[in-house]
Amino acid sequence: TLRRCGRLGEFVSVQLHPTQRTVHIAADAGRVCRPLIVVEDGVPAVTPVHMSELAEGVRDWQDFIREGLIEYLDVNEENSSEIALYERDVHADTTHLEIDPLTILGVCAGLIPYPHHNQSPRNTYQCAMGK
């Protein structure tokens, strides 16, 4: 895509609507975007080699963005994407992979200990109290 090769800004959202035969482009400030690993042909773009280079300081976060290994998606793009929670869930139609399963919860919810053992309203309440 244009964003992956650096022709569009990393926070510009492009969504195709084939039924309406339109393209929606969003570049407004304040949209919530989250980083996801790019998956092409059923293979995640980020490999263990990339991760070891990150740990050694050879790469940084911006390298992952510049090289199109990780991209930011907003809610509109997420609606038309196939996102896998775990690497074992990746298949031919998968477009993105979560960096870590806890990132799907967000920052506040990520701080809740053992959220999968709580009732959902309890997690929501704790997130509201954490803001």
pLDDT tens digits, one per residue of 79-107: 889 999 999 999 999 999 999 877 777 76
Sign, CA dihedral 18-21-22-23, equals positive
Q: Within 10 A of 1 (CB to CB), how many other CB atoms are there? A: 10
Let me know the angle formed at the C-alpha of 40 by 74 and 96, rounded to the nearest 5 degrees.
30
**Claim to verify: residue 88 and residue 130 sit in the same structural domain:** no
Greatest Cα-to-Cα distance within the chain, rounded to the nearest angstrom: 47
Residue 114 confidence (pLDDT): 83
Ordered DSSP codes for 60-78: -HHHHHHTTSEEEEEHHHH
Model-level pTM? 0.78
**Claim to verify: residue 24 and residue 61 sit in the same structural domain:** yes
Sign, CA dihedral 37-41-42-48, equals negative
Could you give the number of structural domains in the chain?
Answer: 2
Residue 69 confidence (pLDDT): 94
Residue 131 confidence (pLDDT): 60
**Claim to verify: residue 86 and residue 123 sit in the same structural domain:** no
Q: Which residues of the chain have pLDDT under 70?
A: 1, 107, 131
